[in-house]
Structure formats: C-alpha cells, structure tokens
Structure 1
Amino acid sequence: MPAVSFQHVSKTYRSSRGDVHALTDVSFDIQQGEFFGLLGPNGAGKTTLISILAGLARASAGRVEVHGHDVVADYAAARRQLGIVPQELVFDPFFTVREALRLQSGYFGVRRNDDWIDELLVNLGLADKANANMRQLSGGMKRRVLVAQALVHRPPVIVLDEPTAGVDVELRQTLWQFIARLNREGHTVLLTTHYLEEAEALCHRIAMLKSGRVVALDKTSALLAGTASTMLSFKTEGELPPTLADRARWVGRIVQIKAHDAREVEDILRQLRICGCPVEDLEIGRADLEDVFLEIMQADTSPAAFYDVPSAPRERVR
C-alpha cells in the first residue's frame, strides 16, 4: 500500500472569465518511507495538489488516499496520518511555543506528549523559546514552530510546502538533519521547494508539474542521467557567437552552456576563441537538477513524460 496515492486528480476553478484548470489528470503514488519531491514553477499546481491532500480543497475529479484512507470519505483517519508545514506563517498570538504544541497535540487526541515536544524543541533549535509568546518570535522561529506543530502527533507522512522559503542557513541545515533522520526512521516525506539543490540532495524520486500536469516523474538519478552530463560556466562581457548565444543561460555575467561530451566542450571553446570572446573563471562541472528542471519546463512537453515504467524505456514525449 502506498503512503500517498493521487489517482486521476483534476481541479477546475470557475470564474467569470472562464474555467481555470489548476490540475489535469494527475496520477502518481508515493511509497512508504520515500523522500519524494514535487517541483514546478509558480502556478504549476503544487500547492493546489497539497491543499487537496490536506482537505483544504476538494478535487473536481479523481481520488486521493493516505495509507489507504480516502481524504474525503475517510477524512478523519486520513488527517491523522498527515503532518503538513504550510507556506504561510500561521500562528496563534495568545500562546507560548510549548502551549501551542500542547494544543496541537490535543487536536489529534495525543495526551502526555511533553517528552516528544521537548525533543522537537531541542532538534529544531526552539528549546530556549519554549516559554516565549508566539508574537515575540522572528519569522524564522515561527517557521520552526510550524514544523514542530506538523510533527507533534508523530505523523507517518510529512508534507513540507516550501519549508525553507526566506529562512536562514542555520534553520535549513537544522531542519534537513532532523527530517532526514525521521525519514530514515520510516516517515514518508513529500517536499515542494524552489531550492533545487535541496531536492537533488534529499529526494529519492521527483515529479515535476507544469500547467497542472505531470511532465516528469522518475528517480532523481535517472532524471540527472537524462540530460547533458557536462556544464561549462564562465564569465564574460563579450558577445557570444550566435550558435552559442541560442544555447547559453546567463546569470549576471556568468554564462552556462551544456555539453554532452569532451568533443562538444572542445568545439564550444574553439568557437569562443574564433570570435574573440574573452573568458574568465572557466569551470567545467556536472549538470545538476536545475539544468534538468529548466530543460523540461522549456520543452514542448505532452501531458506525461519520464514515467518510470520498468517494462518500457524511459523517454520524453514531445
């Protein structure tokens, strides 16, 4: 039995300007104990899908299950299996941190939970803030409390919706160390993030959404293997030749160009020499998940691609 199952999920919003299709026939399973990444640009449908999973929105079509419990027909059991960290900072200003966690425990019928609450406070760097009022906390500290609230009833499935957006490096490291530990202990984790290096380092499998459709779904290693293996990075203030300019990605003064093998690297450098383009700080490295993501998002993809079907070769459908 999968930890989470999305079966042909669609969501349409009605408006005076016409129907808006936020999700279209989204189907995939997340296995128990998996660290799963859900990626996509803003407006791709990630938060809508999580809202349906959490019961904050209802799908127009399809079915969602958590450990076999339908999120609509068996909502109470499904909710108990989930711990969700939302994007927004939501807090009750009338309670201290410890009181907020005790109250959250009570929502799930968990009593005498102080030992686990203490462990959460220590592991999330909140021990010295346990008796502080929520209003007194910084944005980063409030984010830590949201994570603790999501984990306070020990849910088997943890959903992290942009958990490190706008937080400091210390919190990111602390959070990932703790979440990785829980994942090793058997908790299933569903992560959405715009920090693609996090997804590459943490996720076993990744699904990518574009305009409400799944356009990529595979193991992280397979997605990385499916793109160019080499990336040239260099700084220049010169003008690239047209053959390279069409392929280049600019980040300030830094130019990044993909190459598939050593011969192509040699050809790119030859073209730069011929056109007299000055090059500084040249680096040759491996393409990463950001390169895969941009390649897929910029492609003219069909409703399904990169599905990991063992009996058939993996290919992108254009």
Structure 2
Amino acid sequence: MERVTGGGVQSALLLASVGGFLLYRLLGRLRAKAALQDAVVVITGASSGLGKECARVFHGAGARLVLCGRDAGRLQQVVEELITSTRDKKQQTHVPSTVIFDLSDTQLMDRVAEDILKCYGRVDVLINNAGISYRGNILDTQLSVQRDVMETNYFGPVALTQALLPSMVRQHTGHIVVISSVQGKIAIPYRSAYAASKHATQAYFDCLRAEVERYGIFVTVISPGYIRTNLSVNAVTGDGSKYGVVDTTTATGRDPKDVAQAVLKAVRHKSKDVVLAGPLPTAAIYLRTLWPALFFKLMSSRARKEHKPKNT
C-alpha cells in the first residue's frame, strides 16, 4: 500500500486550491459574459466615435441595443453595419432599435424615456456617452457657451438618467454608466467649460452610486484620456463656433475600439470608477490631491506657454 507523506498531502491540497480558484475565475467570466446576452443596453451618442464602438462591442455580446442620437440617417447606418458585421457569426444578436433626440433638450427627457422603454419594456444598462468638448480662453468665452456645454455634458445625462431611474428601481436591477473624462478629476487651462461639466458629472454620479446601491443598481464612471475621435473637431470655442481642428493629443490618443472594450469589461465586472489614461495624466490626478501647490504651479506654467488654445 502506497504511503502518502505530509509533503504529498500539502501538494495535493495546494493543487486542489489552485484548481478551485481557476475554476471559480472561469465560471465568473462565463457568468459575466452570459449576463449581457439579451440585456437591454441604451447608448447615447451612438452614431459615431466611442458611442459607435460601444454599440459594436455590446451588439457582439448579444445585447438588445437602443441606439440614441440626433441624426436618424447616421444611426440607421450604424444599425445596418452592426447587422452585417455579425451576420455570419454564431453569437445570437438582435437588430438594434433607435430613438432620435437632442440630449441638450432636457425638457423632453420624460418623453424620451417613454420611447426608450417602449422598445423592449425595460433598460438594463444605460451608457451616457454623448457629449461635446470646448476650447477657449475664459476671458473670451461667452456665458451662453458655458451653459450650452453644461446642458449637453451634465444636465442632459442627468435628466435622461433620472427619467429612466424609476424603471430600474421597480425592477430592482440596472447599471448606469457615464463616460466622463480625466478632466473630470483634474482641470487644465483652456478647457474650463468642458472640465467644469465633467467635474459636475463625476460628483453627481458618485452621489447616485451611493443612493441607489440599495436597489441593486450599479453606477460606473469611466474617465478616459484623449481618444482618437472627432471630439476636438466638433468642440465649441468661446464664441460658440466650431473649433474645427484635430488636436495632436487627440490624434495620438487611444483607439476608441480599445476604450469600448474597456467599457464592456467595466459593465461585466460592475466596476465603480475606471481611469483610462497614461502615466502622466494618472500621476497628475494623484498630484492634485497629494501636492496641490505643485499641480497648480504646473498648470500655470502650461497656461503661460499656450497663452491661447493651440493645436496641442
């Protein structure tokens, strides 16, 4: 009869523990992937940029999409592209629905929420992605521009979220995602309206997270750095005109496909706060908290060098 030594028993227990852990992780990943199959996912700003890439990855995951935007034609083009891209794949997918509205028109959000809920009767995930950027010197910026940026970036997502929130409370489940920015955590010169709107967004959704957890509702704030989209081209300037320039930082930013995958992962893992930025912006976030005097000095130096918005 073979004798089992103490070392052999320990090795067997270690292997069993490792195997159990790996099995647990595997089952967790499978459950996370399965959770989005047939889930109703609403995406604002879905006709281009990050919103369009989010539509692509969530459609591929089997979600039932409600794509939102201002341009019916562009949204329908996205729908056709999604259908074509998954036609020959084994993954079960659904033909996306669309709801057309202007996010800055906050008075319409109750009606918009009704239209969204008519699509599938519920909302499981709301991705507040739509937004506008800004480039300008505060001295030359009209107050109306500051208000317009806040309407789109802050009041719009807040109004839509609050219009859909009661339905999530009733079903006792849901996930609210907002695409914020690193500039929601730190402020840099010549981005005042944008940074202010994103700081407000961060604060609101942090409060919301704490208040709705009791209802089984999750809240995720995604804070990317620069992304290769048309955000800077479509940014408004101090007088309300289009900036019309692709910043160097934007042109060399993250691929929106990679950011969309990060959003998908955050939803699957129910992450609370995700920063998607390089070492320098990430360090700046900590510097603003740990050594604010140095951070302010660096920002003043940057403002003097730029003096006015440039292609930086």
Asked if Structure 1 and Structure 2 have the same fold, meaning a TM-score greater than 0.5 normalized by the shorter chain, the answer is no
| Larger helix proportion of the pair | 2
| Larger strand proportion of the pair | 1
